[in-house]
Chains A and B, each alone.
Chain A
Amino acid sequence: MKARVLIRPKEGILDPQGKAVERALPALGFEGIGNVHVGRMVELEAENPERLAELCEKLLANPLIEDYEIQPL
C-alpha cells in the first residue's frame, strides 16, 4: 500500500516557521493569505498497512506537539 503521511504542528503551539512565511507573503505580492502552518510530509510503501498508525504515533510524529493524517495513495 502506498501512503502519504502529513504531519503538522498541533493547534495552539507556536509555529514560528508558519508565522515567518505568512509575514513574508505581502512583500512578495501575495495578499489575503493567512493561517499558514509548516509541517512535514512522509511518503512510503507499506506491505502491512495495519501498523501504519502505530508507526505514525511512535516515530513519524510526536503526539505531544504534532497531529498526523494518513492519506492512502
Chain B
Amino acid sequence: MSETPRYRELGLTDSEYELIVEKMGREPNVVELAMFSLLWSEHCAYKHSKKLLGKLPSEGPRVVMGPGENAGAVDVGSGYAVAFKVESHNHPSAVEPFQGAATGVGGILRDVFAIGARPIAVLDSLRFGELDSVRSRHLLDGAVRGIGHYGNSIGVPNVGGEVYFEEPYEHNCLVNAMCIGFAKTEDMVRAAAAGVGNAVVLMGATTGRDGIGGASVLASAELGEGDDSKRPTVQVGDPFEESKVLECCLELLEKGLLVSLQDLGAAGLTSSAGEMASAGGVGIDIDVAKVPLREADMEPFEIMVSESQERMLAVVEPSRVAEVRAICDKWQTGSAEIGVVTDSGHIRILKAGEVVGDMPVDALVDGCPLYDLAPAAPAAWIYGNKQTLSPSANSAATLMALLSAPSIASKQWIFQQYDSIVGSRTVRRPESADAAVLQLPESGNAIAVSIDGNGRKVACEPFNGTVEAVLECAQNLACVGAEPLGLTNCLNFGNPEKPVPAWQLDRAISGLASVCEELGVPVVGGNVSLYNEGPDGPIYPTPVVAMVGELPDPAKTAPSSFVREGDAIGLLGPFTPTMHGAEIAKQRGELEAGLPEPKVAAVAEACATVREAVRAGKVASAHDVSDGGLACALAESSIGAGIGCRADLQDLRERGCTPDEALFGEGAGGFVLSGDRAELEALGALIIGEVGGTTIELAAGDRSLVVGLTDATEAWRSLDAKAESVAEPPADA
C-alpha cells in the first residue's frame, strides 16, 4: 500500500514539487516544504488568477499606491490619501463564523495600518444560504457578532455593507471585509525590506499554533464532509491586542523609526518575511528561537507557518531597535528582534544559530507556476430554481414578497450591532443614504464608500453581470454626490480547475477590466478567493467591488428617503428594466442564463448628472434602483421617510418593457430622485409621481398596486422580527 507523498497532502502537485526540487537543487526539508506549500497555495500565489488580473487597469493620476502593496491608496487632496482594500475570509468563516469573521476584520485592518494609514472605517459584504436553514442562521449570527466584536472593540466604525441570502452559498458562505484608512501621503510606507544588516523586528502577540495548515490551505481546497476537523486550525482574534499594536505602529511610523512594515496574515512569518525580501530584492535570516511563543515546544516549521493574529513585522536600523522596543513596551505589546536583512537573496531559517531551512527568495515568493484556465461556458442555467411566489400573485402581494425578502429587507438588525459612529466622521449612517459618507476635516472634504457584489446576475452572464455590479457601485456613490477615485475587489468563485467556474472567472475579470477602463476608475488592489464549492456545486460567481469616491462638501449629500409631502418624484438615467436575474425571477422560480448588456457610457453620464445635482442641492433625495426594481426603490424611499407616494410608470414602458418589468424589473442606470418638479425636469428626469399620503400607489399599464405604508414598513423590517429567531434554534426542531 503506497502512502500519499507529504507534499501532496500539503496541496502541491507532482509537477509543482519537481519544480521546487529543481529550483532548490535538492529535495526540500520539512521546514522548506511547509513554507513552499503555503506560498505556492492558491490563496497566496494566485496560481489560477494572476494572469487574468493583469488585465485590470490600475493606474491613474490619483493613485498613490497600486496593486502589490498591502493596500491601495488614492489622493484626496491637500496632501492626504485614503487607503482601502477588501479581503475574503470565506473558508474560516464557514467553519467557525465568529472567529472567522472577526479575524477577517483584524486582517484587513492590519493591511491598512501596515502602509501607515489610520483605519477610519470598515464595511462588509456577506452571503449565506437561505434563512430557513439552521446552518445559515448560525453562520449569519456568528459572523455578525464576530465582525461587531472586533470592529467595536478596536474602535473603528462599521459604516456600511451588504448581506444576501441565496441557496448556492448554503455550504460556502462569503465573508468579505473592507477597511478604509487615512494618512498624509508623505507618511505612507511600503513593505519592501531594505538595508543589508538592518534588524527584522516582530511586534504584537505571541506566536502559537493558530491556523497551522490554516487559511491558505483551507482556501485551496473545496470544503467536503468532516470539515469540523478543521476547527482547531481556525485563528482566534484579540482586538484589544490589535488596538495596542495599531497605536504602536502608527507612533513608530510618525517618529520615522521604521524602514518598512508588513502585517502577518495568511501563512504568517513565511509570507510576510518572504514578501518583504522579495519586494526589496534582498535576503532575510530569521531565527525562530527568538520568536516569542505562546506554546512551548513549537517546531521551526510551525513557528514559520503559524497564523497567530495581531502580529506585525518591521525592518529597523540597528541603532533604533531600542527605541522601537521602548515604544512597544509603552503600548504594552510584545517585540523581539528575530532576524536580519542580508544580501544573499535567500530566506534562511535558523534555530538558535543553526540553519534549518534555506530557500531562494524568488523561488519561494515568485517561483510558483501560473496556470491558464480551460474555460467552457455552461449549456444552460446550472443553479436550479425554487418557486416561493406564484406568478399569478397580484402586484401588491408581489411587492410585499420582495420587500420582505431577507436579501432586500432592512438590515437594521445587523448594523445596529456595529458601532457606526466612533471617530466622529460618519455623516451618513447605514441605510440613511445609498453610500456611507465620512468627513475628512483635515483635508477639507469628504469621502463616500459603497461595497456591492452580485452573484446571481454574474451567474446569468458573467461579463455583463460584473459590469452591472460596478455600475451599481458608481451609482451609489453618485447618490451622495461622490465621484469615484478607485476600486478594490474581491473575486469569490468556485474551483478554477473546472471548466464552468473557469469560464465565469475569465469573463468576470474581463467585464471588470472593461467597465473600469471605460469609467476611468483604477483598480488599486483586491483579493481572490477560489475553490468555493461544496457537494452541490460552485457558489454563484461573486465579484464584490467597493469604490471610494470624493465629495467636496459633506453637508451636501442626499438621503435615500423622500423628505416632504408634495415633492415630485423623477426617474433619471437609461434604466431599461428586465426580469433577467431579478429578485422577482428568483422568487417565481424563473431564473435562466442571459443578461442584457448594460449601457456603460449612458449610465456614467447619468451618474455625473445626479452627482452634480446632489452637490448643488437640487434634489431632496436620491436612491438607485437595484434589487426589487423600481417598485422596491420607491417603497424604500417612502418607508424611510414615513411618507407614502404615488407613481405611474407608463412613460417608462415606452422604453419597451411590460407592466411587470416596469414595476419589478431590474438593471443598471436607474435613479429615483425627489424634489422640486422644475428642478427635476431641468435635470432630464422623467416625472413619474409625487411624494405624499399614507399609501404606496403604483401603476404601470394594466398593473397597479396600493399598499399601506405601515404594511410595507412591517414587511421591510421583517428581518428585525425574525431577528432573535435567527440566533436561536427553531422551536420545532
Contact = CB atoms under 8 A, between A and B. Distances in A.
Interface in B677-733: 728-731, 733
A59 interface: no
Nearest to B728: A24
Contacts, number: 9
B80 to A, nearest CB: 44
A27 B728 CA distance: 9
A35 B85 CA distance: 48
A28 B729 CA distance: 8
Looking at chain B's contact residues, the main secondary structure is loop
A28 B134 CA distance: 12
Interface string A23-41: 1100110000000000000
Nearest to B729: A27
A24 B137 CA distance: 15
Contacts of A24: 728-729
Interface in B569-599: none
B729 to A, nearest CB: 4
A46 B367 CA distance: 54
Contacts of B728: 23-24, 27
Interface core residue of A23, A27, A28 (most chain B CB under 10 Å): A27
Contacts of B733: 27
Contacts of A28: 729
Interface in A10-59: 23-24, 27-28
Contacts of B730: 27
A38 to B, nearest CB: 16
A59 B294 CA distance: 25
A45 to B, nearest CB: 17
A29 to B, nearest CB: 9
A2 to B, nearest CB: 19
A23 B731 CA distance: 10
Nearest to A29: B733
A63 B569 CA distance: 61
Nearest to B724: A20
A47 to B, nearest CB: 22
A11 B351 CA distance: 55
Contacts of A27: 728-731, 733
Nearest to A23: B728
A26 to B, nearest CB: 9
A72 B730 CA distance: 42
A28 B733 CA distance: 8
B345 to A, nearest CB: 48
A28 to B, nearest CB: 7
Contacts of A23: 728
B402 to A, nearest CB: 31
Contacts of B729: 24, 27-28
Contacts of B731: 27
B721 to A, nearest CB: 18
Nearest to B731: A27
A25 to B, nearest CB: 10
Nearest to A28: B729
B149 to A, nearest CB: 15
A24 B730 CA distance: 9
A27 B731 CA distance: 6
A27 B729 CA distance: 7
B103 to A, nearest CB: 24
Interface string B515-537: 00000000000000000000000
B141 to A, nearest CB: 12
B387 to A, nearest CB: 30
A23 to B, nearest CB: 8
A28 B728 CA distance: 10
B4 to A, nearest CB: 38
Nearest to B733: A27
B352 to A, nearest CB: 29
A24 B729 CA distance: 7
A35 B449 CA distance: 48
A24 B724 CA distance: 12
A24 B731 CA distance: 9
B716 to A, nearest CB: 28
A23 B730 CA distance: 12
B138 to A, nearest CB: 12
B291 to A, nearest CB: 26
A28 B731 CA distance: 10
Given A23-B728, A28-B729, 7 more contacts: A24-B728, A24-B729, A27-B728, A27-B729, A27-B730, A27-B731, A27-B733
9 contacts: A23-B728, A24-B728, A24-B729, A27-B728, A27-B729, A27-B730, A27-B731, A27-B733, A28-B729
Q: Which 4 A-B pairs have the closest CB atoms?
A: A27-B729, A27-B733, A24-B728, A24-B729
